[in-house]
A and B are shown apart, each in its own frame.
Chain A
């Protein structure tokens, strides 16, 4: 549980996101990496898990403009390209931390 319970979500550098987890790990996420990892139904096909988002259509400088808590289990990120339907669960965010050695490799991770 501690692995997927965040204590604090903060800004890193100009636009990146950092999460401090209850187990002590600090994860960093590049702004565009998060946008490409958006799990919403417009970006990933529900039934098959096939990616629908073409990375070429995502601006290089895309970044989160707002982050809101969703219940006790997720955050919703509004990005600078106007896209904000993605709900990032804490479980998923921990998976998306690619440098976390004991993390299983994220399924369908963005290129």
Chain B
């Protein structure tokens, strides 16, 4: 007698996705089940290829399926389909083909937004996701340098083709600005430039678009949130109290604009000694995590202060590319996975909001 599909699905119903808090069968993740005698094969389709618990889910599914009577072997293919979220509010535009727009912001400059944006984008692409990177920093567009590419993108009949490197499509304000003119590009001009990027770039199909913002809470942040449907922002902070305070400003801005915040990242968290590998939390440990807890936001992870990270960026060979299996790259990859998990959570749990009569 061949193994029973129903019995297998019942067993798989015990495998819980810890992020979505539901089992993989009721989530509709189990697909294409084929049973030949005692041989069982199926797909598990996750909501992101960057899923942080992919291996764990696969092992559990295998174990459950094998526990069913008559099952001799199990062959599981892990796939992913990044799902669209419902628009948060009417009147916001979507970039055609782009599933999730994710701005990376901070309250103040120099905390590592660009470093984080680039490495997050590359780490997501390493998992097989289709990724874009939009550098909207008008004051110091640094993405081309970090990506190691100064070449201008191709413009064809008013359509802009993004540059591409390491599997990530990107475009930068830096491609279109002459340095000395940057400062005068304020207000309305700047907003027009963003419109241009959004309407006239051939992005193709993208699962995630990471947007590197200029520091602070100015025109660009405002117009982006007011125009474009954003899945949620990632806020980067350093551990010092003063930086956390300004990070809070950015969070308040997103809140007032009804843009969700996916979570907080702490950069330059600790110094990891190149000689012994020991972690030294120079500025005290856990400031950003505490802030995240207080604000009820996810903490996505921490990154070391490391000369290597800066050198990789300066050399145009970002850390997750330069040393993809190294400790620093793994820290970026873990944050990318947590971020992707938060996107999935937001997309899947769109429950009714509380009624406020005040």
Contact = CB atoms under 8 A, between A and B. Distances in A.
A44 to B, nearest CB: 8
B357 A8 contact: yes
Interface residues of B, number: 26
Contact of A46 (B290, B353, B356, B357): B290
Interface string A28-68: 00000000000111101111000000000000000010111
Contacts of B353: 69, 72
Most buried by A among B256, B287, B356: B356
Given A47-B290, A87-B255, A89-B295, A9 B245 contact: no
B287 A47 contact: yes
B358 A87 contact: no
Main secondary structure of the interface of A (DSSP, over half): strand
A82 interface: no
A25 interface: no
Contacts, number: 83
Interface stretch (B197-205, B220-228, B246-254): B246-254
A71 interface: yes
A12 to B, nearest CB: 10
B255 A9 contact: no
A14 B245 CA distance: 32
Interface residues of A, number: 34
A7 B354 contact: yes
A11 B358 contact: yes
Contacts of B358: 9-11, 17, 64, 66-67
A41 B246 CA distance: 9
A20 to B, nearest CB: 9
Given A69-B356, A87-B251, A46 B241 contact: yes
Contact of B296 (A9, A46, A74): A74
Interface in A61-91: 64, 66-76, 84-85, 87, 89-91
Nearest to A89: B296
